[in-house]
Amino acid sequence: MTLKAVLFDFNGVIINDKSIHLQLIDEILIQENLQPQRSDERQASLGRSDRACFQDLLTRRGRVVTQEYLTQLLIKKAQLYALELEKLEKLPLYPGLDDLIFQVRSRKLNLALVSGAIRKEIELVLERAKLTEYFPVIVAGDDIITSKPEPDGYLLAVERLNQAYPDLDLQSSECLVIEDTPAGIQTAKRAGMQVVGVANTYPFHMLQRLANWTVDYLTDLELERVQEVYLQNQCQLSAGEC
């Protein structure tokens, strides 16, 4: 079991945009003549897809909508999200992101991005941040109908990486996931992957109980040490010695 790929979550790992998302969801609810989110609903939405969040919020308010209607709400949110980012002189990317991507690429590991956000929002940020070329494989909220903690998104990322690189023969156990929420960590583990929890959204001590590794900041992640653990596991599985 060697480390072959690093899979990034998007919101809360690449960009610090939680406040923007919560604001836009409230705006759309109000436009729908519905009450904005309560504090418990805001907390419950963290780590889940936009589609699942809107579905739950509308259901709790007695509104029954079709998947097509939800898609229209997501498109509206993406348009508002683009307008909000235009107001920002600098994107709120997390410190250490560039260095971590450099570490991954210098070790010839494959990169992918897995998120419940829709593709338009992800591509907008990656393009503006000049990160598009580093994420040849993206699994977005448009690609799956389930939401974290269901493992479908991460499993689809493995499938797409193998399609993009036919000689890779990637297995879930050879992936490392970077996540910031308990739901995201649970998702990756259900997909058979090891996880680094970064304390961007939840406190360190909460993530430490769930993740294989936990760091306060992306800059604290020592990829070399993580690779050593994968190598040790491989040795134990193969012959018991290196």
In the chain, list all ranges with CATH 3.40.50.1000: 5-16+93-238
Letter string b/e over residues 40-54, b meaning 16 or more CB atoms within 10 A of that residue's CB: ebbeebbbbbbbbbb
Residue 198: strand pairing partners: 215
For the CA atoms of 44, 45, 49, 51, the dihedral, rounded to the nearest 10 degrees, stands at 100
Nearest by Cα to 13 from 70, 94, 80: 94
Distance CA 29, CA 65 (A): 13
In the chain, list all ranges with CATH 1.10.150: 18-86
Residue in the block written with tokens 């969801």: 25
- Mean pLDDT, the chain, rounded, equals 93
DSSP alpha helices (H): ranges in 46-96? 50-60, 67-86
Predicted confidence at residue 43, as pLDDT, reads 85
Is domain 5-16+93-238 classified as CATH 3.40.50.1000?
A: yes
Q: The domain at 18-86 falls in which architecture?
A: Orthogonal Bundle (1.10)
Predicted confidence at residue 147, as pLDDT, reads 84
Q: What is the pLDDT of residues 71-85, one digit of tens each?
A: 999 999 999 999 999
Predicted confidence at residue 235, as pLDDT, reads 67
Q: What is the pLDDT of residues 19-47, one digit of tens each?
A: 999 999 999 999 999 999 999 998 888 88
| pTM, rounded to two decimals | 0.92
